[in-house]
Structure 1
Amino acid sequence: MLATLRRIVQEVNSARDLTSALDIIVQRVRGAMGTEVCSVYLLDPDSTRYVLMATEGLNKGAVGVVSLGTNEGLIGYVGAREEPVNLEDAASHPRFRYFAETGEERYASFLGVPIIHHRRVMGVLVVQQKERRQFDEGEEAFLVTMSAQLAGVIAHAEATGSIRGLGWGGEVVQDTRFDAVPGAPGVAIGQAVVILPPADLKAVPDKTVTDVEAEMDLFREAVAAVRSDMQALSVKLSPQLRPEELALFDVYQMMLDDAALGNEVREVINRGQWAQGALRDVVTAHVTRFELMDDPYLRERASDVKDLGRRILAYLQEAGRQERVFPDQTILVSEELSPVMLGEVPKEKLVGLVSVLGSGSSHVAILARAMGVPTVMGALDLPYTRMDGLELIVDGNHGEVYCNPSAELRRQYNELIHEERELVQGLEQLRDVPCVTPDGHRMPLLVNTGLLADVARSLDRGAEGVGLYRTEVPFMIQDRFPSEKEQQATYREQLEAFHPLPVTMRTLDIGGDKALTYFPIKEDNPFLGWRGIRVTLDHPEIFLVQTRAMLKASQGLNNLRIMLPMISSPFEVEEAQHLIHRAYSEVLDEGVDVPMPPVGVMIEVPAAVYQARELIQLVDFLSVGTNDLTQYLLAVDRNNPRVADLYHSMHPAVLQALTLVAAACREAGKPMSVCGEMAGDPAAAVLLMAMGCDVLSMNATNLPRVKWLLRQITLSDAKALLDEVVELDNPHLVQATLHLALRNMGLGKVLSQAR
């Protein structure tokens, strides 16, 4: 059965359009099951009727003519039940409806299964036979499996037609939406420029050569050309990015080194394979190894290797570079966007990015946020190869892409862009005023940083310090652990830039979706594995070097705060405190005069929530990382577009957890901060303030919005809103109720772009 399924799916995948795909389905399924009839009915979303779109066995003239309402006939019955219907005598069923056009009166047995994609019933797949009998369990299982396999194929074919403005019935379609994962905030309207791989490694044939040296020369020249391209792109991007961001290109340069891909390719060439075939073999082997890895960061390296292999192949094939003309409003679209692709578009023309694969933590997303380019990642259902030249709307706030937009949708998004510009300009005047509510409650607003490029943007928006400095970023862009002196210099820059304001440095937080190429962590479930404080406690040499570097960097500034990630028990805090005090003694012994900085704990896992009272007794402050806490409480990977709609920081469980942490801090008389994305949502910030949160830390872009809203609402009103929504049991209802209340208070202008 499995081999038959694969053959049918592969054949359907290669169909040129939806009509061809459906014809293949009915022909092959009828043959595989040995039935007399196989038909596909698709649900027209506009008319909400099931239309006969393909059949083998019924009257072909009925295709496109016969249709049923969602509550009509056995087809409507299958769709409504969303499960198989297996009948020995279909005509005797009360829901049976006869259509003379189909000629189906001759067929007694009926087996129908729904075609469902992402919870949406797309249609019904039916087989029928003349003899009266019930289809057996094996036949039913085969058809259910076939339906599940074909749902995505049909959805893709349907999407391919709709992006061109035509539905499968030939009607005009507009505002086709594809859901993805937010990569970088903002909205863009522009023209799609699809970047396809410059060469197809899979298409390279084997070829034996006798002149090995000539092939070696060809390979060396191709590598040199690609290396030159990398350097040129790095120089081109240098005005836009900081050196540590540009270091991402060093990863590509290292892969081109003799010790990496080069030697392996030459070994294969020496065995008599031509350069193109040798390159194909080596790159394919590396890509396969990377793609089989469980770690998301390492899996993403497979796309880097593929990208480099294709570029080298392009030169080997003497394809060279084609001059591409980029429109003024370019939205770059690719299956796997790479940092190099960003550099190919003139900065002033790039307005948006769309990647079919990848997550919000990929290199491209990091660079896009640094460059301020609206981005969506993980648009899995996007038929990207057919989109070149089409008008797109990219909504990086909500992770949505619209193609073939109507005049009305375009107008709405243009208004959003215009409002955003006006809002940003209007909020600039708040930069130097404190965040104080009308009834006198003070709420310090800090920023989350990781790159030096964040500093100027943060200070321009009135940040009162750093609530989260991600120290892993300098580690991730190197090919080895940075030395104590290198770390000290990096930390010193951050501390000086914000002095005398506080800078909270999180100790190295790797694992999960953040890995180091030179320190790979291979696990079946990295998010529940060796990450955060667990790694650094197991490697005290890493922890001690980093702590010493932080302490030395703070000499004479005294604005350092240290924060411990992924804490799940008081024992881990005690171990970490022991190492911090040891590092502190070593620094003092070296003659460096610094005070002991405040130490805090990140609340990111449910265990820490329920031990908040014990944890706060051991440290100076608690800081809630709502991104991971929401993910762990709801068991939802926020980078997975298949379940992204289940991830919601206003889920009642999240609000209750935050209330517990706030109460623990209040009892101990110590501060609680929130440094997850929730803090940067103006509406959520109102709830956090009402709970008793003392400090909010967020993306610099969102700081002026949060400040404006908190300066307009009293603490007493915020507490009344919290009391109202805390009783609700649905996160979407919580958000809708909160937004409605704020809009009724005349405070809605900063909510339009909020997640």
Structure 2
Amino acid sequence: MITGKGLPVFSGIAEGKIFYLRKHAFKTEQNLSLPDMESEKARFSAARKAADEQLSALFEKVRSEVGEQEAMIIDVQRMMLDDPDFNDAVISRLEAGSSAEQAVDRAGQQFAEFFGNMEDAYMQARSADILDAANRLLHILNGGTAADFQLTEPCIVAADDITPSETVQLDKSRVLGIVTRLGSSHSHAAILARTLGIPTLVQAKLPDGQPLDGRMMIVDGCDGQFYIDPDEQTFDRMRQKKLDAAGRRYGLEELRGMESVTADGKKIELYANIGSVDDVQIALANDAEGIGLFRSEFLFLGRTACPSEEEQFAAYREVLEAMGGRRVIIRTMDIGADKKADYLGFAPEENPALGFRGVRVSLDYTGLFKTQLRAICRAAAFGTAAVMFPMIISVDEVRRCREMLRQVLHELAEQGVLAGNVEVGIMIETPAAVMLSEELAYEVDFFSVGTNDLTQYTLAADRQNPKVEKLYDAAHPAVLKMLSLVAQSARGAGIWAGICGELAADTRFTETLLRMGYTELSVSPAYLLELRKTVRESTMDLISKGGETE
């Protein structure tokens, strides 16, 4: 038996035969005779057109099977094929006498290396997207079609790495698990694997120099372990672990429809985080009591222009009507940092996480902001809506946002356009907002703490940088003290406070958060029933005068 470790991307236990994915070997060497430049340019142009058609079809496949948000990942590659810098790099090599294959290969390697050497983990992950797009072009130039593969039976797919487009083309009925030697937990392939619910390990220490095809493997996505040719004892242990997990999930079903009430009778709102209209059905299937974070910026990504007021209105209205009167909190566009909309023309930034993002964009692009607020207010007539402003660092920002909202409501009323009232809240995700929370609490109806950003800003640890991953701890004493201060400020002003960051789903800290005074927790839909179980076993009666837990 061979054992090894990897970085878990999605939990769960999988067992099955290994199918080792081998990449196509592309012809990229230079011909002995000098190629005709115009002919090679025409071949490159035709390959780009064919690749765009393939990616368009793949986009529709992913959108129908997985969702709009995940399909936007495929659009990233389409944009790369249209990138002027990449195309100029290819053309300059063609004009210097390279073949189309060699020019695409060299340009792809150049740009992939450039992104791979960046310090930002998100930008490093784009290196795989560039190589994926270049390999698609090479495959077409070599006479092939789509760079996919067929599975003849259920199996665990192993590979050096798997590109995003390959991941979404996997036959979900036959893929039991994924294990790769390379890869990042922040890559698009990892995001898609989590969305598809496939137990996955990246950066796995697979054995070298021996065939793996057809051998039996167990993937433990919970502990990051894999077993090749497992013995009977390991089989029994893993199968029991899988049965235990299934039993726990089955036991949670009895909580469906029950109220989220603590053992001492306090009602807690358990909401879902969503990124697209499609996600609302997943939230409802997991018995969400509301939407605590609708990431509206995903409506702006993977496009060539901003969504219109009508597009936004239709999306918000659909979610509000689907939730049937339950509260839906729409975060205004948090464009910037790792969520880029190139059509807005933002200049590159050395440290985008600390740069032009969130409410800073909204207050600079006031026309864009007012269009979004109009769409939200119009949709509010069809349900219970709240609006939430991200990346707040001052009272002045909140007042400017509220004034913009007041103007929009006044304009809609003058125009005779149906609109509804909305609650107003802010994200608490900067240390500045924490320290000003007492003043900010008198400006809004609620707080929602984004523990992901608050943690990285408090600990000066980039949450996308694997080199400081060990320092990133949402339960760090400094972060917990900040959370306690925010809850205390909310109580003092008579408003409610919730949490929509990843810490909200960590049941080890549920009772701590409740005792601080948080009455709403918003998490990924899959965590809702487990969280309800923990809430019903917790109490809130140990809140001390200072907001700290005893």
In the aligned structure 2, how far is the partner of 1:316 from the partner of 1:423? 51
Pick aligned residue for 1:601 from 426, 431, 434: 426
Question: Which position in structure 2 is the counterpart of 1:633?
Answer: 458
Equivalent residue for 1:703?
528
**1:18-37 equivalences in 2 (<5 Å):** none
2:333 is matched with: 508
Within 5 Å, which residues of 2 pair with 1:64-83?
A: none
Aligned AA (1:468): L
CA contact (8 A) 2:333 2:362 kept: yes
- 2:398 equivalent among 573, 579, 589: 573
Partner of 2:24: 198
1:402 counterpart (221, 226, 241): 226
Q: Counterpart in 1 of 2:291?
A: 466
For residues 502 and 218 of structure 1, the distance between their equivalents in structure 2, rounded to whole angstroms, comes to: 54
Cα distance in 2, alignment partners of residues 385 and 604 from structure 1: 48
CA contact (8 A) 2:442 2:493 kept: yes
**Structure 2 residue 307 is matched with structure 1 residue 307:** no
> Are 1:642 and 2:470 an aligned pair?
no
How far residue 427 of structure 1 moved from its aligned partner, in angstroms, is: 1.5
Quote the offset at 1:468 in angstroms: 0.6
Would the aligned equivalents of 1:199 and 1:311 in 2 still touch at CA under 8 Å? no
1:681 and 2:509 correspond: no
SS in structure 2 at match of 1:705:
helix
Q: Which residue of 1 aligns with 2:518?
A: 693
- Report the 3-state secondary structure (helix = DSSP H, G, I; strand = E; otherwise coil) of the residue aligned with 1:250: helix
Q: Are residues 529 and 391 of structure 1, via their aligned partners in 2, closer, same or farther at CA, if it must alter by over 3 Å?
A: farther
In 2, Cα distance between the equivalents of 1:256 and 1:664?
50
Moved more, 360-369 or 301-310: 360-369
Tell me, in whole angstroms, the C-alpha distance in 2 between the residues paired with 1:387 and 1:455. 44
Give the deviation of 1:420 after TM superposition: 2.3
In the TM superposition, residue 341 of structure 1 has moved relative to its aligned partner by 0.9
After the TM superposition, which of the residue ranges 274-283 and 625-634 deviates more from structure 2? 274-283
Q: How does 1:357-396 map to 2 (within 5 A)?
A: 360-376=185-201, 379=203, 388-389=212-213, 394=219, 396=221
Does 2:162 correspond to 1:330? no
User: Residue 638 of structure 1: CA displacement?
Assistant: 2.7
C-alpha distance in structure 1 between counterparts of 2:372 and 2:184, whole Å: 28
The aligned residue for residue 101 of structure 1 is none
Q: Does 1:454 align with 2:282?
A: no
Question: Is the alpha carbon distance of 1:681 and 1:411 closer, same or farther for their aligned partners in structure 2, counting shifts above 3 Å?
Answer: farther
| Partner-residue secondary structure (3-state), 2:171 | coil
Assess if the C-alpha contact under 8 Å between 1:208 and 1:273 holds in 2: no
* Offset of residue 566 of structure 1: 1.3
Name the structure 1 match of 2:366.
540
Give the TM-score normalised by structure 2.
0.87
C-alpha separation in 2, matches of 1:467 and 1:213:
56
Q: Distance in 2 between matches of 1:343 and 1:318?
A: 23
Aligned CA distance change for structure 1 residues 537 and 375 (closer, same or farther; 3 Å): farther
Q: Distance in 1 between matches of 2:494 and 2:533?
A: 28
Instruction: Return the offset for 1:347.
Output: 1.1
The residue aligned with 2:492 is 667
Cα distance change, pair 627–359 in 1 and its aligned pair in 2 (3 A): farther
Cα separation, 2, equivalents of 1:393 and 1:319: 34
Q: Secondary structure at the match of 1:249?
A: helix
Residues 130-171 of structure 1: CA distance to partner in whole angstroms, max 9, x if unpaired? xxxxxxxxxxxxxxxxxxxxxxxxxxxxxxxxxxx6xxxxxx
The 2-side partners of 1:251 and 1:385 are apart by 35
- Partner of 1:419 in structure 2? 244
Matching residue within 159, 172, 175 for 2:3: 175
Instruction: Quote the Cα distance in structure 2 between the aligned partners of 1:237 and 1:682.
Output: 32
Residue correspondences, number:
545
- Which residue number in structure 2 is paired with residue 556 of structure 1? 382
User: What's the counterpart of residue 41 of structure 1?
Assistant: none
Does the Cα contact within 8 Å between 1:199 and 1:310 map onto a contact in 2?
Answer: no
Give the 3 Å change call, closer, same or farther, for CA 332–470 of structure 1 in structure 2: farther
CA shift at 1:643, angstroms? 2.8
Equivalent residue number for residue 66 of structure 1: none
Match of 1:643, SS state, is helix
- Asked if 2 retains the 8 angstrom alpha-carbon contact of 1:190 and 1:331, the reply is no
Give the partner amino acid of 1:241: V
Q: CA deviation at 1:681?
A: 1.8
Say if 1:244 and 1:666 are closer, same or farther in 2 by CA, change over 3 A.
closer
The one-letter code matched in structure 2 to 1:706 is L
> Shift of residue 604 of structure 1?
1.0
Percent identity between the two aligned chains: 34
Larger Cα Rg: Structure 1 or Structure 2? 1
Q: Provide Cα deviations, 1:292-340, integer angstroms capped at 9, x if missing partner.
A: 66665554433222212122223333466685546513245443x4321
CA distance in 1, matches of 2:118, 2:343: 15
How many Å separate the matches in 1 of 2:517 and 2:209? 50
Counterpart residue type for residue 480 of structure 1: A
Q: C-alpha distance in 2, partners of 1:447/1:303?
A: 31
CA contact (8 A) 1:570 1:615 kept: yes
**CA pair 381-631 structure 1, distance change in 2 beyond 3 A:** farther
Structure 1 match to 2:308: 483
Question: Is residue 537–residue 576 contact of structure 1 (8 Å, CA) maintained in 2?
Answer: yes
Mapping of residues 284-323 of structure 1, within 5 Å: 284-288=109-113, 290-291=115-116, 297-318=122-143
- Preserved CA contact (<8 Å) 2:5 2:226: yes
Report if the CA contact (8 A) 1:295-1:526 is conserved.
Answer: no
Aligned to 1:102: none
TM-aligned CA deviation for residue 492 of structure 1? 1.7
Higher relative contact order (CA 8 A, sep 6+): 2
Which one-letter code corresponds to 1:693 in the other structure?
Answer: Y
Query: Could you say if the C-alpha distance between residues 533 and 395 of structure 1 is closer, same or farther in structure 2, counting changes exceeding 3 Å?
Result: farther
Would the alpha carbon gap of residues 211 and 281 (structure 1) be closer, same or farther in structure 2, given more than 3 Å must change? Answer: same
What residue is the counterpart of 1:249 in the other structure? 74
Q: Describe the superposition over 1:375-415 as per-residue Cα deviations: whole angstroms up to 9, x where unpaired.
A: 455x38777997854655555556x3434485455544433
Letter matched to residue 427 of structure 2: M
| Root-mean-square deviation over aligned CA pairs | 3.4
In the alignment, residue 259 of structure 2 is paired with which amino acid? Answer: P
Deviates most, 456-465 or 537-546: 537-546
Matching residue of 1:614:
439
Once the 2 structures are TM-superposed, how far is the Cα of residue 418 of structure 1 from its aligned partner? Answer: 2.0
1:209 aligns with 2:34: yes
Inter-partner Cα distance in structure 2 for 1:621 and 1:471: 19
- Aligned-partner Cα distance in 1 for 2:309–2:109: 38
Contact 2:4 2:205 (C-alpha < 8 Å) held by counterparts = no
- The alpha carbon displacement at 1:248 in A equals 3.3
Normalising by structure 1, what TM-score? Answer: 0.65
Listed one character per residue, the Cα deviations across residues 721-742 of structure 1 (whole Å, up to 9, x for unaligned) are: x99x968xxxxxxxxxxxxxxx
2:434–2:486: 8 Å Cα contact kept in structure 1?
A: yes
Contact kept? 1:361, 1:513, Cα under 8 Å? no
1:592 is matched with 417
